[in-house]
Amino acid sequence: MKTIFQHIKGDKAIWAIVTVLAIFSFMPVFSASTNLVYVVGSGSTFGHLAKHIALLIIGFGIIYGVHKIPYRYFSGGSAIMIPIVVILLVFTLAQGTVIGGANASRWIKFGGVGFQTSTLASVVLLVYVARYLAKNKESVIYFKESLWQLWLPVALILILILPANFSTTAIIFTMVIIVCFIGGYPLKYIGYILALGIAFLLFFVLVAKAFPDAMPNRIQTWSNRIENYSTQDGKEPYQVQKAKIAITTGGTFGLGPGKSVQKNFLPQSSSDFIYAIIVEEFGLIGGFGVVFVYFILLFRIFVVVKKTKTIFGTLLVIATGLPIIFQATINMAVATSLLPVTGQTLPLISSGGTSIWMTCFALGMILSVSASKEKTEDEILDDNPLDILHEAID
């Protein structure tokens, strides 16, 4: 055990939190996977649990590998990855894989393994935004220049994600705006971008309604989710009904691990609605416990931010850490019917390889910052990302 701690660096509390969430996820994923086995007819419960454990083990490998990389390399790396991400998103739209008859333009497969490219795009884009803001920390930012250097990559990636995944697009855009606000991007220009974003979204919806065959069912799906959420006639979507029943049934102490009833009826019970299953089996105590763990993670993220002495390091931690907490909040809000259904997973607890791996990649970058021996801001932003190969060899 002592040998293990000698090799892991960075904030030990974050390592502990990630481990707790990962181990805790075993029971709800194992329990909720019965829906996939007996309703969908996919594999076995032990098979799904084994797959989830394997994904988490790979995820911890990602955290370990990434946290060993000096965080200055993520600056140049994000600039290199932007065009690669754009190509992947174009390919995904053109060759998207059908997963259970839905979300056909969100996934691609590599060697039989599904990969959601928008999740990778989110991480890369936010790191790129942090890079831009850090590089221009002492410069006067002109709106026209920032349109090309900052907002063109942002717009291109969001436009490519939007047709298949509105909720992810909205989350990424919100996170970009928050990081820009924290990073000192002029408030007046943020207002311009918000207005342009809303105008483009309205234009996109109008075009999609005028040419429904171009994106069948997507606009209608968004409309149905909003209309069903705000309906006044007492009718609710099937998923929301079952989630509410699960939460109500759980009471204070829950039915006990593995004893959920609604897991047999609630679609996506092992991913999008796993929080409802957690509350049903572990009660309000378990539900508040999960919220508390994410709150501690947020607190530790701010501790890392406070200790970081470079602007890029500070913005990198914010840009990669806040989306994890934001996504967790949205998932729990959807399960408790505070928000319309969005399809966001619960980080490190829900099943799903891409979500786990990208969350682990983001956590690895945060740990890299917390473990770093500080260089100057100019050294960080001017480093050649290819130099990491020489450091790795040495």
Cα separation, 348 vs 354, in Å, equals: 11
* Residue 340 pLDDT exceeds 50: yes
Least confident span in 26-30, 46-50, 125-129: 46-50
pLDDT value, residue 378: 53
Where is pLDDT greater, at 328 or 384?
328
Separation between Cα atoms, residue 69 and residue 74, nearest integer Å? 9
Task: Provide the pairing of β-strand 107-110 with 113-116.
Answer: antiparallel
**Is residue 153 pLDDT above 80, yes or no?**
yes
Exposure pattern of 213-227 as b/e (b: 16+ CB <10 Å)?
A: eebeebbeeeeebee
Share of the chain above pLDDT 70, in %: 80
Query: Which DSSP letter does residue 99 get?
Result: B
Q: Mean pLDDT across the chain, nearest whole number?
A: 84
Task: Tell me how far apart the alpha carbons of residues 220 and 224 are, in angstroms, rounded to a whole number.
Answer: 6
Each residue's pLDDT tens digit, 198-207: 999 888 888 7
Backbone angles phi, psi at 107, to 5 degrees: -120, 145
Per-residue model confidence (pLDDT) at position 314: 96
**What is the dihedral sign for C-alpha 208, 212, 213, 217?**
positive
Helix axes 117-135, 152-161, angle to 10 degrees: 170
Please report which confidence band the pLDDT of residue 184 belongs to, taking 50, 70 and 90 as the band edges. very high
Q: Which helix (H) or strand (E) holds 96?
A: none
pTM: 0.87
* pLDDT at residue number 102: 44
Instruction: Name residue 162's amino acid.
Output: L
Beta bridge partners of 102: 99
- Give the confidence band of 42 by pLDDT, cuts at 50, 70, 90: low
Q: Residue 101: what pLDDT?
A: 41
Map tokens 């393994």 to a residue.
Answer: 113
For residues 328 and 91, the model is more confident at 328
The tokens for 295 are 């709150």
Which residue did the predictor score with more confidence, 202 or 36?
202
Region at 103 (left for phi over 0; alpha for psi -120 to 50; beta for the rest): left
- Where do the structural domains in the chain lie, given as residue ranges? 10-44+236-394, 76-235
DSSP-assigned letters across all residues of 318-350: HHHHHHHHHHHHHHHHHHTTSS-------TTTS
Decide: helix, strand or coil at residue 115: strand
Most confident range (mean pLDDT) of 174-178, 260-264, 354-358 is 174-178
- Confidence class of residue 218 from pLDDT cuts 50, 70 and 90? low
Statement: residue 230 has pLDDT above 60: no
Q: Which two tokens stand for residue 387?
A: 């130099």
